[in-house]
Amino acid sequence: MIRHLNLMNFDDEISQGIVLVDFWASWCQPCLDQNPVLDEIAKEVANIADVFKVDVNDNKVISNKEGVRNIPLLILYKDGKAVARYQGIQSKEIIIKSILKLI
């Protein structure tokens, strides 16, 4: 299940393990097109990684801190450190392969 992050829980949620964060906005059609793929990823990696979303409109502080300039943007974290960034729509296979490399 994909959960939403905000300023109150962002740092805690990305601090341990493998975490994929989708930076998105409701007005961004490519972001909405990516949602079904993210749902599939979240199900397939449920025992390996957590998947979250950050609405860039509601969380400008996080977006600025993480250097989000364009969306959709997926950032893959391992123990709180960003290890990969994926700009634009991505395939499930690319993201899952990247997650599995971090195990």
> What are the residue numbers of the active site?
28, 31
The DSSP result for 39-87, as a single string, is: HHHHHHTTTTEEEEEEETTT-HHHHHHTT--SSSEEEEEETTEEEEEEE
Q: Quick one: tokens of 75?
A: 């950032």
Residue 91: enclosing H or E segment and its boundaries? none
